[in-house]
A and B are shown apart, each in its own frame.
Chain A
Amino acid sequence: MSGSTLEIKDLHVEIDGKEILKGVNLTIKGGEFHAIMGPNGTGKSTLASAIMGHPKYEVTKGQILMDGEDVLEMEVDERAKAGLFLAMQYPSEISGVTTSDFLRSSINAHREEGDEIPLMKFIKEMDDAMDYLEMDKNMSQRYLNEGFSGGEKKRNEILQLMLLKPAIGILDEIDSGLDIDALKVVSKGINKLRNENFGCLIITHYQRLLNYVKPDYVHVMMQGRVVKSGGPELVERLESEGYEWIKDELGIEDETVGK
């Protein structure tokens, strides 16, 4: 086996004292692409945020392990350096900090002090990745995500993914707000990273993205848990039949959580 392994065991998470995740189990290995689907408000973003260490989310029970190391003991930046990356559903806007400066700081954060990426090399890598994602080069001189359109923000997340090359990437609704062409470009960016060392967790509502980025495993979340797992065939059934049959099968009336 190559790459890294992310293990989530019986994860319980609260926000503002309200339990949102109620025992999530999931293992992602290098080379594997997992998709998580599920209706709105069922805990998908909560799972992604808890893995990355968002300050509002409190893990009350369970474990997250990266190659056996306790992720919950790590600061957010340490999680990133351990190989985790989260493309966020709603990336922050940071005024006064250019996208380019931010990208360079991010890359350097993954390198040893004294071994910072040479400026020319950085610019070349950034330009190449921006070309690949068909992004306007001027974006790099704009303030981070400030005034970016929804689609531009998503591309910017994938740009970071491509430059940082994490061991495990979590993509939270990377396809939302993208037009068809942008969806293809973003998918191309994700697929470029596909190899046995890269594991990926894709949170999405639509088959569209998964037609371009083929998952090996598909999971459905409801009520703060993974309630069903299967292969790519699950995507098609969800697309044509919706979620009702799963709810019927499991006797779930309200699939949301935290109400």
Chain B
Amino acid sequence: MSNDVFTCDYIESYSKQQQEPAWMTDFRLKAFETAETIDMPKPDKTKITRWDFDTFDHVTNNQSAKQIALNDLPEGIKKFIDIEKEQNLLILRDNVREYVHRSEDLAKQGVIVTDLQTAIKEHADLVKQYFMTDAVSVNEHKLTALHGALVNGGAFIYVPKNVIVEEPIQTIFWQDNPAQALFNHVILVAEENSEVTYVENYLASETEAKTVMNVVSEVFAKANAKISYGSVDHFAHGTTSYINRRGLAERDAKIEWALGQMNDGDTISENVTHLLGDQSVCYAKAVSVGRGDQTQNFTANIVNHGKHTDGIILQHGVMKDKATGIFHGIGKIEHGGTKANAEQESRVLMLSKHARGDANPILLIDEDDVTAGHAASVGRVDPVQLYYLMSRGISKREAERLIIHGFLAPVVNEIPIEAVRKQLTDVIEGKVY
């Protein structure tokens, strides 16, 4: 299916088939109208005009939601789950719910963990309030507009006021059919004084088939809420991805991102957090590995609006083969953000002569009474470090492996679910060697 197949009729009938309420159908149609007039995004330093954002299947799976037994999952999926423990877990396979469970405790406290389609029906007011309103907007560019028009999966997670969710909530978005596009949308709301840890996995089964991922996450940390958000993206080589994770933090709130950006295809990935309320805090940490001929453009951006806000960016990337990785780190302090702090560190480790890495730190400061700093580097594995490790008998390959894992550890170690942490380590291992 290519873009010209999409028409208002198609969108209307898709919405109907999903039994969506009229407001959602209207939303899609409006977004589609916008998509037809608005430009593609223009990520700095990467030309995407020849990227294939058109070849994909929007719907492949006409099954309805079900509840399978976790033990019936293929090994490749099961290994992402701490199977012995009780799970707060949602699994979508080709956008259709396969499994959902939350602990009795969470249910009692009113915590919502469900797929977006169900949420649109059962929690319409909440979805309406948060879906592409205050965080990501349809009007940003063609890809956000298309997202609004074609969203076909996702999750809705809602933590009520004062509720502390002890165990992590996990989602697995599993692309099983190689041509299936995920226009996946995650909404995570943590109400005042609540706390939640959320981990998502994007998984693909196939490597070469052409398709598109258009993923948006909108994350809301209300006053004094704490959100820890981990992810592992691992789409296949043939997949062109646009990923947009956005956070809004109110007074005294904290959002911590730990993103494992491991796609094998061309990718634009942006992570923007607005520190709206005074004393709000964001740690945006991300690691990436590029291999083969893929091009990736990453943006980590924290905007300090409130006073005494603290934004810290850390991105570490490893580039091998002929891969290109551009890392933008943007710290922006708005006028009025007195005593704000914007720190960032972007480091790229090059493993081959033909790889391209670029760390691009930007500080934009419209306020006097602030602190800010940045560190950026692009380099190779330090020969003296290699020598030190090898002088203990460790082979060159193993020494490099240790140094690379060490380089990525600041983010890997932040992933809160052990099984996912181990999988991220394995994905890194697989990509680097």
A residues near B, CB below 8 A?
Answer: 52-55, 75-77, 79-81, 85-86, 88, 91-92, 94-97, 101-102, 105-106, 109-110, 143, 160, 164
Across-interface contacts of A52 in B (CB, < 8 A): 387, 391
Nearest-neighbor residue (CB-CB) of A95 within chain B: B406
Min CB distance A125 to B, Å, is 15
B394 in contact with A96 (CB, 8 Å): no
Question: Once bound together, how far apart are the Cα atoms of A96 and B403, in whole Å?
Answer: 8
Closest-CB distance, A146 to chain B (whole angstroms):
9
Residue of A nearest to B404 (CB): A96
B380 close to chain A: CB less than 8 A: no
Bound complex: CA A258 to CA B399 (Å): 32
Contact of B390 with A106 in the complex, beta carbons under 8 Å? no
B419 on the interface (CB 8 Å rule)?
no
Contacts of A77 in B (CB 8 A): 390-391, 393-396, 399
Cα separation A109 to B394 with both chains bound (whole Å):
5
CB of A53 within 8 A of CB of B407, answer: no
Closest 3 CB pairs of A and B: A96-B406, A96-B409, A109-B393
Contact of A106 with B392 in the complex, beta carbons under 8 Å: yes
The answer on a CB contact under 8 Å between B406 and A160 is no
A97 and B388 contact, Cβ closer than 8 Å, known pairs A106-B393, A109-B394, A164-B393: no
A80-B392 contact in complex given A53-B387, A55-B384, A94-B385, C-beta closer than 8 Å? yes
Q: Say yes or no: B406 contacts A143, CB within 8 Å.
A: yes
Contact pick for A75, options B388, B390, B406, CB 8 Å = B390
Least CB distance from B213 to A in Å reads: 29
The dominant DSSP class at the B interface is helix
> Whole-angstrom distance between the alpha carbons of A85 and B395 in the complex?
15
Contact, CB under 8 Å: B394 / A97: no
Decide: A97 near B392, CB < 8 A? Known: A53-B387, A55-B387, A92-B384: no
- Tell me, yes or no, whether B410 is within 8 Å of chain A by CB: yes
Contact count A vs B, C-beta below 8 Å: 84
Instruction: Tell me which residues across on chain B come within 8 A of A143, comparing CB atoms.
Output: 406
In-complex Cβ contact of A97 among B384, B390, B402 (8 A): B402
Q: Is the CB of A96 within 8 A of B391?
A: no
Asked if B76 CB lies within 8 Å of chain A CBs, one says: no
- List, in ascending order, chain A residues with CB within 8 A of B410's CB: 96
A-B contacts besides A92-B389, A97-B406, 20 pairs, CB < 8 Å? A53-B390, A54-B387, A76-B387, A77-B393, A79-B391, A80-B391, A81-B393, A85-B392, A86-B391, A88-B388, A88-B391, A94-B385, A94-B403, A95-B409, A96-B405, A96-B409, A105-B402, A106-B394, A109-B393, A164-B393
CA distance A164 to B392 in the complex (A): 8
Task: Check: B268 CB closer than 8 A to any chain A CB.
Answer: no
CA distance A204 to B290 in the complex (A): 46
In the complex, the chain B residue whose C-beta lies closest to that of A143 is: B406
- List, in ascending order, chain A residues with CB within 8 A of B399's CB: 77
Q: Which residues of A contact B402 (CB under 8 A)?
A: 94, 97, 101-102, 105
Q: Beyond A94-B402, A97-B402, A105-B402, is A76–B408 a contact (Cβ under 8 Å)?
A: no
* Bound CA span A259–B411, Å: 46
Closest B residue to A87 by beta carbon equals: B391
Inter-chain contacts of A94 with B (CB < 8 A): 385, 388-389, 402-403, 406
Partner of B388, one of A79, A85, A92, A96: A92
Minimum Cβ distance to chain A for residue B6 (Å):
46
User: Are A76 and B405 in contact, CB atoms less than 8 angstroms apart?
Assistant: no
Bound form: Cα–Cα A66–B250 in Å = 67
- A95 vs B385: C-alpha distance in the bound complex, in angstroms? 10
Q: Which residue of B lies closest to A146 (CB)?
A: B406
Q: Are A96's CB and B407's CB within 8 A?
A: yes
Determine how close the nearest CB of chain A comes to the CB of B331; give it in whole angstroms.
22
* B389 neighbours in A (Cβ, 8 Å): 92, 94, 102, 105
Residues of chain A within 8 A of B385, CB atoms compared: 92, 94
Most B CB contacts (10 A, CB to CB) among A96, A106, A143 go to A96
Within 388-433 of B, Cβ neighbours of A (below 8 Å) are at 388-396, 398-399, 402-403, 405-410
Q: How far does the alpha carbon of A156 sit from the alpha carbon of B4 in the complex, in Å? A: 65
Q: How far is the CB of A186 from chain B (nearest CB, A)?
A: 18
B383 at the interface (CB under 8 A from A): yes
B288 smallest CB distance to A (angstroms) = 15
A95 touches B390 (CB 8 A): no
Q: Is the CB of A105 within 8 A of B398?
A: yes
From residue B411, how far is it (CB to closest CB) to chain A in Å? 10
* Beta-carbon nearest neighbor of B406 in chain A: A96
